[in-house]
Structure 1
């Protein structure tokens, strides 16, 4: 039995279970300051019996197990959360095995275990919400170098005439600084959910996200790319436009000719829908148990 904790920029979801068909309990907790948020999560976990904990969190995270700050959130755009310890705090309280991953890597692992990436070894999960994150799985494992990737912060060519400076306090007009929920609100003067369904604002969104997709495909050619998160979940009509934009951007190049013809199957929403993130925490916890 796994206690899964998905820490998001707006809300946290705690699950108790073993998978999508066996969720015994679920709690939703607003993400406020670290102490109040973690105390509320612990209050939920205190009521449950479990064998391991899985944490799938917004980042950046310190995933190097030998680092002094292993298990903590590092320099983040989320005010007040930089340096917040997650793993060691919960280890001290519960004494259970703990798996620790980025929220997007967790969702990608859940997609591989239960969702639309079953049977695939190289695939990606993109979330677009309070931030933009990319979880990349290669050879069945999250890609990890000196640190986990931050593809949501890549810079892409800007649309002609678009002079918005960008919301990201680290990089300005990186992809997160252009298309995340806070960026859309600042850029267009209202939350993304209030923008017209077919408004011209989405032309810029498709352009900017299309740049990220082009780079991701040319670097890793994932067998499938799932895109989730609050911004895109309400705008699934954009997927045909994103596929067309990506196919055009790839330009009939080399071995990617066939890839561009298969985007209906290769690019779409997560098979687990809005539960990909919370179930990602369960998948991470199962990894801590070696299952």
Structure 2
């Protein structure tokens, strides 16, 4: 019997842009459209205008957050309290459900990308792996046993605090936590901290020492917590600066300090820490993966 893979309308909502994708996976992308992320009403109307022209079996929504993922909560399917002005409390799922009447999968953008990496990318066949995005914000998607890790709410590891570099007095960009990791190395934080966007900084500038230090702290905590079989780092900031990956590996190995079972882990970082196998498509394909999860595809 030939198995028919459901056709998914994937919607990846990012802080600066949204990408709508129609397909079943990386080898079958039938349509794709990019939409600027502005105010909720304008952005969601533009997404619906794209979806109105497609035929599909299910929808996958992978969004920036924080999100309400508890299906029993009154505000399930909404963005909760976010750093993005105007988006707190925005419903993402119920309106799509009323409009299209199709099954809808709903996850954070980083969990979606992690699921895509496990289904098609560099984490294929792995049980425990992570995806970190560094762009408008900093997010961490962690998959264990093939499923996104979630407790009372989804994790917010991008907002963990790490030891500051000596002499670094930057107060931080995050309006909730100040100098959490997102407040130190997200795109807006780098622009404020260094007086110019990260893309304008030369590769050998000392500012990148602070970036490596701060992201290295997040990586140390992530590895000591979960020891993921692989960690992918994506997002606009790192995509333009992949030369930092060897420095991050060295920083992480030094930080782990040869401790216990992690001594061997530190020796394998060339394979364990790197860019997403799906490249810039990890996010858009993450939305497809979220849609496939809800229909068992």
* Bin for the TM-score computed over the shorter chain: over 0.9
Partner of 1:282: 288
Aligned counterpart, 1:91:
97
1:55-78 Cα offsets, whole Å, 9 max, x none, are 000000000000000000000000
Please tell me the root mean square deviation across aligned C-alpha atoms, in Å: 0.3
Alpha-carbon deviation of 1:196? 1.1
1:125 to 115, 123, 131: 131
Give the corresponding residue for 2:23. 17
Residue 50 (structure 1) aligned with residue 56 (structure 2): yes
CA–CA separation in structure 2 for the residues paired with 1:197 and 1:239: 12
In the alignment, is residue 148 of structure 1 matched against residue 154 of structure 2?
Answer: yes
Give structure 1 stretches of 5+ with no counterpart: none
- Residue in 1 aligned with 2:4? none
Q: Which residue of 2 aligns with 1:195?
A: 201
Cα deviation for residue 271 of structure 1 reads 0.0
Structure 2 residues without counterparts, runs of 5 or longer: 1-6
Equivalent residue, structure 2, for 1:40: 46
TM-score scaled to structure 1, two decimals?
Answer: 1.00
Aligned to 1:248: 254
CA distance in 1, matches of 2:159, 2:276: 21
Q: Secondary structure at the match of 2:224?
A: helix
SS in 2 for 1:270: coil
Q: Give me the whole-angstrom Cα distance separating, in 2, the residues matched to 1:288 and 1:247.
A: 38
Provide Cα deviations, 1:134-186, integer angstroms capped at 9, x if missing partner: 00000000001000000000000000000000000000000000000000000
- Stretches of 4+ moved more than 2 A in 1? none
Q: CA deviation at 1:288?
A: 1.0
Structure 2 residue matching 1:275: 3-state secondary structure: helix
Q: Under a length normalisation based on structure 2, what TM-score does the superposition of the two structures give?
A: 0.98
Paired with 2:46 and 2:15, the residues of 1 have a C-alpha distance of 15
CA distance in structure 2 between the aligned counterparts of 1:236 and 1:128, rounded to whole angstroms: 12
| Structure 2 residue 231 is matched with structure 1 residue 225 | yes
